[in-house]
Copies of this chain bind each other. A is one copy, B any other.
Amino acid sequence: MAHVTIKQIAERVGISKGAVSYALNGRPGVSEQTRARVLAVAAEMDWAPNSAARSLSGARSRTVGLVVTRPAEALGAESFFVSFVAGLESVLGPHGHGLLLQVVPAVEAEQATLHTWARERRVDGVVLLDPRVDDPRVALVGALRMPAVVVGHPSFARGLPCVWKDDAVAVTAAVEHLTGLGHRCLGRVAGPARLGHTAVRDGAFVAAAARRGAAARVRITDFSAAQAAGATLALVREDQVTGLLFDNDLMAVAGLSALVGAGLAVPDDVSVVAWDDSVLCHVTHPQLTAVGHDLTAYGAAVADLLVRQAEGEEVADVEVAVPDLRVRASTGHAAPAPGPRPWTVPA
């Protein structure tokens, strides 16, 4: 049963290989009767097209590539990852496409991977995660003439098709939630400055706070738990912040722990808002208010755009649903009387 080819099907049915190919691919050139017979025999023989042969004939590999850079960018995205990939697969699978995954230590290696994939014709297109400011990958895939979809804001895609969500609106909702609770001094524990979405969120954060007459402080981190904890305590102790917005769930959990460890109560002393709303937000005490989104739908939209683009279709940018704020126990009213607090005294 192994290694069934169209040649064997052709012999069994008594027609040429070419006719078998037409029948199998639903193209004109064979009678419906012949087509039905071919399909039946192929199914009976458990035939499937040899992917290498198909790629070599047509131009397509029926494979899409995804490079994940680790550790910095990816660490924060661990919870992101499985859901997003599941979304990709929900579209790729039914189209018969595979997902080639590469995990690399740094961004330089990512560019080398894209170059190699292009030269080897391994993939029909690639997903570009976490676009950076002046991202070199954008120019690279252009030079390689490689179909690509940027997962992020159009301003970072510079002409490449992208799938994006409006983080600015979500940040604004979080800020208004906190100011609505009476918080007058807000802090944001952000990811690396070179990431495009950091810039978008920072800008929206500062603007939204200003509109509400609240102070806004941003601290940049590398997504690590240690830096998240440090930034959290610095914001609260040095900047008198009482309401915090984090750039992902893991940092929010790390920040929560740091606060509790410093003798501060959440939400009585400080309110905490996470970002992504993975299962982590449900396993803390108190549970975390979070900006949440549908990662699976996000991945599906990316795959859809990529497949259509690889098939030569003209595609336009896609905006998915705006992330929404899911309020839980980690956000509460600010203390009525602002002013010096015990913990502002140097430890």
Contact = CB atoms under 8 A, between A and B. Distances in A.
A46 interface: yes
Number of copies: 2
Contacts of A47: 119
B279 A257 contact: no
Contact of A56 (B48, B50, B122): B50
Interface stretch (A80-88, A149-157, A164-172, A334-342): A80-88
Contacts of A122: 51, 98
A229 B284 CA distance: 11
Nearest to A49: B120
A250 interface: yes
Nearest to A113: B93
A46 to B, nearest CB: 7
Interface stretch (A16-24, A70-78, A177-185, A235-243): A70-78
A283 B70 CA distance: 20
Interface string A25-60: 000000000000000000000111111110110000
Which of A49, A70, A98, A284: most chain B Cβ within 10 A? A98
A104 interface: yes
A8 interface: no
A309 interface: no
A140 interface: no
B99 A101 contact: yes
Contact of A102 (B49, B89, B120, B145): B89
Interface in A261-287: 261, 279-280, 282-285
- Interface residues of A: mostly helix, strand, loop or mixed? helix
A75 B225 contact: no
A120 B53 CA distance: 10
A82 B93 contact: no
A98 B100 contact: yes
B86 A70 contact: yes
A78 B75 contact: no
A250 B283 contact: yes
A254 interface: yes
Contacts of A78: 78-79, 81-82
A102 B260 CA distance: 40
A56 B101 CA distance: 22
Given A81-B81, A98-B100, 20 more contacts: A2-B145, A47-B119, A48-B120, A50-B121, A51-B120, A52-B53, A56-B56, A68-B82, A75-B82, A81-B82, A82-B103, A100-B100, A100-B101, A101-B101, A225-B279, A254-B282, A257-B283, A257-B284, A257-B285, A260-B285
7 contacts: A51-B121, A53-B56, A78-B78, A225-B282, A229-B283, A250-B279, A280-B280
**Shortest Cβ-Cβ A-B pairs, 10 listed:** A48-B119, A52-B55, A254-B283, A257-B285, A52-B56, A101-B101, A51-B120, A86-B103, A260-B285, A52-B52
